[in-house]
Amino acid sequence: MKKSRRKFLKVAGISALGIGMTPAITTFASSESQGTGTVDAVKSKNAEVFSAKRWGMVIDTSKLTDAIAANITDACHKAHNVPDFNHEPDKEKFPKTSPVNHHQEVKWIWKEHFEHAFPDKEDEFLAEKFKELPFLVTCNHCKNAPCVQACPTQATFKREDGIVLMDFHRCIGCRFCMAACPFGARSFNFRDPRPFIEQTNSSFPTRTKGVVEKCNLCAERLAKGQQPYCAEASQGAIVVGDLENSESEIRQLLNEKYSIRRKQELGTEPSVYYLM
């Protein structure tokens, strides 16, 4: 059971899907989730299936506003059952929830100011407009991912298409990956997240306490030929595609405009680019 799920996670993005996809998705979705997984059977033969040699993301900073950024975070977090500590837990279902510590929050994609997103590029004479712009930060799906290297159980692993994924059932919660990630992309479930999920998306697993999580580049969406939630909600500011394919949209964007990546000097080779 464990093996087959991992294998699925690994294979799903790369291989053309087709046969056997529906049961696999259901397995994936229902594990650990409350409620039963009811994924609409994907007409995978007809759907355009996305595959890539190395998935990457381009964020056009000029197209982001605070409102769009908030929508993006919302879309991602809701779809992935990321707990919101500002949400009042349902007293009937979860009678004994202790007060929250907001420093123990979970987040996959969120807004930062320039000097925090790019602390190495902090500059007092930076153009004013950059100081105010919202910069969205998330997992970079690094080519040389230090989190993968650090994980003692391979619960964090790199798929052949470049996506850095997590196996929530294998993670022992040692948080070595969090110390290793230079981008603060990872969150630990200090407590059971379920009371803080307003509405559970039954097609995606909820997590238990004691495991680490982060952006999965919407591997479950890419497998179905759909764009990630953040891209969908971004009004064109976020594009996800194949970095290795010179014909892809993101490569064209990178060709046209100057782009930067976070902490490039560390050599982790982030796959998320910011168009300036």
Partner 1 sequence: MLEIAIKGSKKYWIWIGLLLAVMGAGFAVYIEQFINGLAITGMTRDVSWGFYIANFTYLVGVAAGGVMVVIPYYLHDYEKFHRITILGEFLAVASLVMCLLFIIVDLGQPTRALNVLLYPTPHSMLFWDMCVLNGYLFLNIIIGWKVLEAERNQVKPPEWTKPLIYLSIPFAIGIHTVTAYLYCGLPGRGFWLTAVLAPRFLASAFAAGPSVLILLCFVMRKVTKFDPGWDAMQTLSKIVCYALIANVFFFLCEIFVTYYSKIPGHASHINYLFFGLHGHNALVPWMWTSMTLMFIGIILLIIPALRNNQTLLPFTCIMIVVGTWIDKSLGMISGGFVPSPLHHVTEYAPTLKEIIISLAVFGKGLLILTILFKIAAKVKEEVRG
Would you tell me which residues interact with partner 1 (CB under 8 A)? 98, 101, 103-107, 112, 115-117, 119-120, 122, 137, 146, 149-155, 170-176, 178-184, 187-192, 208-212, 263, 266-268
Cα–Cα distance, 111 to 66 (Å, whole number): 8
261: its two tokens: 């990546």
The least CB distance from residue 70 to ligand SF4, in Å, is 14
We find the least distance from the C-beta atom of residue 158 to partner 1, in angstroms, to be: 11
Count the helix, strand and coil residues of the chain and give each as a percent rounded to the nearest 5: 30, 15, 55
257 binds, among ligand SF4, partner 1, none (CB under 5 to 8 A by kind): none
Question: Using an 8 Å Cβ cutoff, are 72 and 238 in contact?
Answer: yes
| Angstrom distance (rounded) from CA 157 to CA 64 | 31
- Is 123 or 160 the residue whose CB approaches partner 1 more closely? 123
37 binds, among ligand SF4, partner 1, none (CB under 5 to 8 A by kind): none
Cβ at position 73, least distance to ligand SF4 in Å:
8
Partner from ligand SF4, partner 1, none binding residue 139, C-beta < 5-8 Å depending on class: ligand SF4
Minimum CB distance to partner 1 smaller for 192 or for 244: 192
Give yes or no for a contact between 31 and 218, defined as CB atoms under 8 angstroms apart: no
Between 247 and 265, name the residue whose CB sits nearer to partner 1: 265
- By beta-carbon proximity to partner 1, the closer residue of 15 and 264 is 264
Which residues are near ligand SF4 by CB under 6 A? 76, 80, 108-109, 138-142, 145-147, 150-151, 153, 155-156, 164, 166, 171-177, 181, 183, 185-186, 212, 214-218, 228-230, 268
- Cα 124 from chain centre: 31
* CA distances to 128, 180, 207, 272 from 24, in Å: 50, 32, 19, 29
Residue 201 binding: pick among partner 1, ligand SF4, none (C-beta 5-8 Å cut-off by kind): none
Q: Which is nearer to partner 1, 34 or 154 (CB)?
A: 154
From the list ligand SF4, partner 1, none, pick the one residue 24 interacts with, judged by a Cβ distance below 5 to 8 Å according to partner type. none
Q: Which does 109 bind (CB under 5 to 8 A by kind): ligand SF4, partner 1, none?
A: ligand SF4
Beta carbons within 8 Å of 154's beta carbon, 6+ residues apart: 167, 170
Residue 166, CA distances (Å) to 92, 200, 231 in order: 32, 20, 21
State the alpha helices, DSSP H only, in the chain: 2-12, 21-30, 66-79, 114-117, 128-132, 146-150, 176-180, 219-222, 229-233, 249-256
Q: How many CB atoms lie within 10 A of CB 165?
A: 21
